[in-house]
Amino acid sequence: MRKVNIHQAKTTLSQLVEAAEAGEKVILARAGTPVVEIVRLKPRRGIRLGTLKDAFPTEFMDAVLKPLSKRDAARLFGSGLEA
C-alpha cells in the first residue's frame, strides 16, 4: 500500500496511476488523513452480438430489416426524394 499526500500526488500522478494499474493500493491523504483511494477500473465487457437473436418473431424482424423504398423514405424523412 502506498500513502501519498495530495501535494505530492500532483507531481507524481503518472507513477501513482501506474502503481494502481499494477494492482498496488494507492491512498491519497490530506494532512495525513486518508481521503481517496486510486483503484484500477475493471475491464468493460464488450457488446454481445446476437443477444436478442430469437427474441422476436421472424416476420417482425424481416419487416424491420427490409430496406425502405425511395418513396417510403421520402414519406418518413421528408428527404426531398421524389415519391
Q: Where are the domains of the chain?
A: 2-38
* Alpha helices (H) along 1-83: 6-11, 13-21, 58-65, 70-77
pLDDT, position 16: 97
CATH assignment, 2-38: 3.40.1620
- Residue 83 pLDDT > 90, yes or no? no
- Pairwise CA distance, residues 53 & 37, whole Å: 42
Say if CB 7 and CB 16 are below 8 A apart.
Answer: no
pLDDT, tens only, 26-79: 999 999 999 999 999 888 877 777 777 788 888 887 888 788 888 888 888 876
pTM value > 0.75: no
For 48, which DSSP code? -
pLDDT, position 54: 81
Give the pLDDT band (50/70/90) at residue 80: low
